[in-house]
Amino acid sequence: MLPEGMAETLAPSSWALEDLRRKLLDHYRVAGYALILTPLVEHLDSLLTGSAEDLEQQTFKLIDPESGRLLGLRADMTPQAARVAARHYAHQDIVKLCYLGTVLRATAPEPGQSRSPRQVGCEIFGEPGLGADIEAINLMLQSLALAGVSSVALDLGHVGVYRGVVQHLALSAADEGELFRMVQRKSGPDMRQWMSALGLEASVRQLLIDLLDLNGGLDVLDAAASRLAAAGDTVQQALAQLRAVCEAIQAQPSPPDIHVDLAELRGYRYKTGLVFAAFVADHGREIARGGRYDGVGAAFGEHRPATGFSADINELLRLGL
């Protein structure tokens, strides 16, 4: 028996997987991305450096018999790409990296997901403008199309909206965590109870309740601009960025269905700007995700803007059949 959440792939699926791997990497190569092959195991502290502390619980650990140091098996290749960009490509203004490899996770992040996904992704470092966000979204959509996944819904959000709303609240870390979990569950009833127990001002309460409700088509952005007017400039800037990206994606030939969700905060702790994910009907969870995480390189001595996406190629193959 294999351990829970592990799988082996045999022909013909293994060949289909290999075909898809080549197609994707060829596509990224033509688009100007450099392939990096990162180690399966690293020193735990380096693997978790930066804002990837979320990953600590997800990471399998072992002791190196040679050095006695604690090692971790990679649970996500994005922080590895950030480290490579900072260490080896510091001299370049803009770095575009792609990767593909198996990662290992102690628990599946969502029910039904694998503990050993074959992660594929692209990251763009050094490009602060929305052009990079749009490029990352398009690469994700093209990757799904190459895998034969059709009728994709693109979910867009911006962590700056939520940040702008909560920054004035001066919450304790525990309360902030509680609020974050309620927002992720869109639990209006729990949030109302929590807000009145905490004695938050009525105006702030309304902002938070509005945030939960602000999801749907592009008209959400108009509604948000007026309903969140009191939340200040950073929120309005975030909304303007979202609108620009939505319009750019929509102007492309055969655009995906766009869904805007201002309470969606995947990777909130290290994400800094636009966040996105792809969904298909009748598959209960997201199939690819990404977003902007400008601060991550700072831990490696080099602060520069970054955005990118990743997906599980095993899952793409299953959905593309």
* Stretch of 75-83, 184-192, 225-233, 237-245 lying at the interface with another protein (CB under 8 A): 184-192
SS3 readout for 97-159: EEEEEECCCCCCCCCCCCCCCEEEEEEEECCCCHHHHHHHHHHHHHHHHHCCCCCEEEEEEEH
* Stretch of 164-172, 212-220, 299-307, 308-316 lying at the interface with another protein (CB under 8 A): 212-220
Q: Could you identify the residue written with the tokens 């990757």? A: 143
Please list the helix, strand and coil fractions of the chain in percent, rounded to the nearest 5, in that order. 45, 20, 35
- What is the C-alpha to C-alpha distance for residues 157 and 263, in angstroms, rounded to an integer? 7
212 binds another protein per the rule CB under 8 A: yes
Looking at residues 97 to 136 of the shown chain, list those that interact with another protein (rule: CB under 8 A): 110-112
* Stretch of 17-25, 43-51, 229-237, 273-281 lying at the interface with another protein (CB under 8 A): 273-281
- Name which position in 129, 148, 177, 216 contacts another protein (CB under 8 A): 216
Strand, helix or coil for residue 290: strand
257 binds another protein per the rule CB under 8 A: yes
- Name which position in 127, 133, 210, 261 contacts another protein (CB under 8 A): 261
User: How many residues form the binding site for another protein (CB under 8 A)?
Assistant: 26
CB of 30 to another protein, least distance (A): 30
- Name which position in 286, 290, 300, 313 contacts another protein (CB under 8 A): 286
Sheet containing 70-73, strands listed edge to edge, beginning at the edge strand earlier in sequence: 41-43, 70-73, 61-63
User: Residues interacting with another protein, by CB under 8 A?
Assistant: 110-112, 153, 155, 185-190, 212, 215-217, 257, 259, 261, 279-286
